[in-house]
């Protein structure tokens, strides 16, 4: 193992599992160099279906240089509707060319044809009886160019190590795919690529410390931010002057300004005022705060498992595994976290064979009200992390969009990866909720700012 970058330590990713030097280089020099296409898993009726029964218009959008949330806001403004009527399956980064599904409630499909936005292509697919929800996709397919790699020859050594971590033998035939594995960390962008603080907000919410949650998001300056932003955040942290903060916060910080406006308008005399301020932001961002706290704890559990030398590709007694989704697309390992089993001394051999064949996956918890923790050594790790963070299942019995029942998540991310050498381009597919950057960080060993 190799120590990770300090910025990655801050979000619970303490190690690389490959010791070899990476290829270096940069990602996302232009959107076309980072291609993402959703592997769709959503049924759509004909566009001529009855609007009363199927009020949601579904379309596929190809976006270059657009953050998903920003696109939804601009789209809703263009249509003259509330942003809450726009839904999508997965949030994508703006420094990419992405193809993804959206739905819009109660509009004329022809209104979408009239949308004229830069670097946006819209294809109307049909209608649905419900909106697209977060997670309504099987996965994502990636084609990513690594620009200006310093040591492109290092890729072979890294892939050998990642194949071993996956429990597979690397095929050395030129042009063939390599089955590689990495810890299924939540990537840097889950917590804020420039300013990783969303998990701090979520942990404060889980502790019902609404004031600290607001201050973690609105204050809390980071050295990667612009100077005017750092100064405004420092002013908030020092003064708690919400009206003064509105005068100083740049307009581009719309969510922070929404919180400050609510506090300046309604006062900040009790915890409920700060909770109300947090509820001024879109519901998906409210959920993201709590999800980021769960993700941070999950990353910490995986790092602790690495420290203990426990395997990721096979279980040990005490682990909880989930089984593969039998309806998943061919060639994509898709865990079904709704089907789990405890691993014991009696069944560990059988479960290991299921894991070897891609039929089962070792898991760790995303903590929530319904969470049941592992036993044995894996359970010791989980309990130690939660105790250190000062959170437990009952802390997620929260009001409104902040509440979470929790789930479990596979700890190993395994994929078949193909390489083109000139330019150095990687092609692979991942199940929904997994991050391409956790594969790429192992291959590049670059500063996270370059990912």
Q: How many helices (H) and strands (E) does the chain have?
A: 14, 15
Rounded-to-5 percentages of helix, strand, coil across the chain? 40, 20, 40
Q: Compute the distance between CA of residue 359 and CA of residue 323 in angstroms, rounded to an integer.
A: 6
Alpha helices in 339-375 (DSSP H): 348-356
Question: Angle formed by the axes of helices 210-218 and 271-278, to 10°?
Answer: 50
- DSSP letters of 170-215? PP-STT--EEEEEE-PPPGGGT-SSS--HHHHHHHHHTT-HHHHHH
CA dist., res. 106 & res. 118, Å (int): 24
**Are β-strands 97-105 and 86-88 bridged in parallel, bridged antiparallel, or unpaired?**
antiparallel
111 is a catalytic site residue: no
The separation between CA 196 and the C-alpha centre of its own chain, rounded to angstroms, equals 13
CA–CA dist 201, 218 (Å, integer)? 10
Catalytic position from the list 19, 21, 48, 93: 93
User: Read out DSSP for 110-138?
Assistant: HHHHT---TTEEEEEEEEESS---TT-EE
Cis peptide before 41 (omega within 30 of 0): no
Which among 433, 434, 371, 445 is positioned nearest to 408, based on CA atoms? 371
Name the β-bridge partners of 413: 182
* 3-class SS of residue 426: strand
Which pair of structure tokens corresponds to residue 356? 């070897």
Helix or strand run (H / E) with residue 241: none
Catalytic residue ranges = 93
């Amino acid at each position: 193992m190799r120590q990770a970058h300090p910025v990655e330590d801050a979000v619970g990713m303490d190690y690389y599992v490959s010791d070899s030097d990476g290829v270096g280089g940069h990602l996302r020099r232009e959107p076309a160099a980072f291609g993402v296409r959703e592997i769709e898993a959503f049924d759509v009726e004909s566009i001529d279906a009855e609007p009363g029964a199927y009020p949601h218009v579904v379309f596929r959008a190809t976006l270059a240089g657009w953050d998903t949330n920003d696109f939804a806001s601009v789209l809703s403004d263009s249509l003259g509707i509330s942003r809450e009527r726009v839904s999508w399956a997965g949030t994508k980064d703006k420094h990419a060319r992405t193809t993804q599904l959206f739905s819009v409630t109660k509009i004329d499909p022809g209104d979408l044809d009239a949308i004229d936005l830069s670097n946006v292509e819209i294809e109307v697919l049909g209608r649905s009886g419900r909106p697209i929800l977060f997670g309504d996709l099987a996965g994502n397919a990636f084609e990513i160019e690594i620009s200006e790699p310093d040591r492109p020859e290092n890729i072979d050594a890294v892939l050998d190590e990642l194949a071993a971590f996956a429990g597979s033998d690397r095929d050395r035939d030129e042009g063939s795919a390599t089955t590689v594995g990495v810890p299924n960390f939540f990537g840097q962008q889950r917590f804020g690529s420039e300013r990783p603080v969303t998990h701090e907000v979520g942990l404060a919410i889980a502790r019902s410390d609404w004031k600290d949650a607001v201050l973690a998001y609105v204050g809390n300056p980071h050295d990667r931010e612009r100077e005017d932003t750092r100064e405004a955040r420092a002013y908030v942290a020092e003064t708690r002057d919400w009206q003064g903060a509105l005068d100083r916060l740049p307009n581009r910080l719309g969510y922070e300004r929404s919180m400050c406006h609510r506090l300046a308008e309604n006062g900040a005399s009790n915890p409920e005022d700060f909770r109300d301020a947090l509820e001024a932001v879109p519901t998906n961002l409210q959920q993201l705060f709590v999800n980021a706290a769960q993700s941070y704890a999950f990353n910490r559990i995986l790092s602790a498992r690495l420290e203990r030398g426990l395997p990721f590709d096979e279980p040990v007694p005490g682990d909880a595994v989930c089984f593969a989704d039998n309806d998943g697309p061919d060639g994509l390992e898709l865990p079904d976290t709704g089907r789990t089993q405890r691993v014991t001394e009696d069944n560990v051999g059988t479960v290991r064979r299921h894991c070897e064949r891609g039929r089962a996956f070792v898991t760790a918890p995303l903590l929530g009200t319904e969470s049941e923790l592992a036993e044995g050594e894996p359970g010791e790790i989980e309990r130690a992390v939660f105790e250190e963070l000062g959170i437990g299942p009952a802390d997620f019995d929260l009001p409104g969009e902040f509440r979470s029942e929790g789930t479990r998540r596979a700890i190993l991310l395994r994929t078949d990866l193909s390489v083109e050498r000139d330019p150095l381009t990687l092609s692979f597919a991942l199940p929904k909720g997994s991050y391409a950057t956790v594969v790429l960080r192992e291959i590049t060993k670059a500063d996270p700012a370059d990912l």
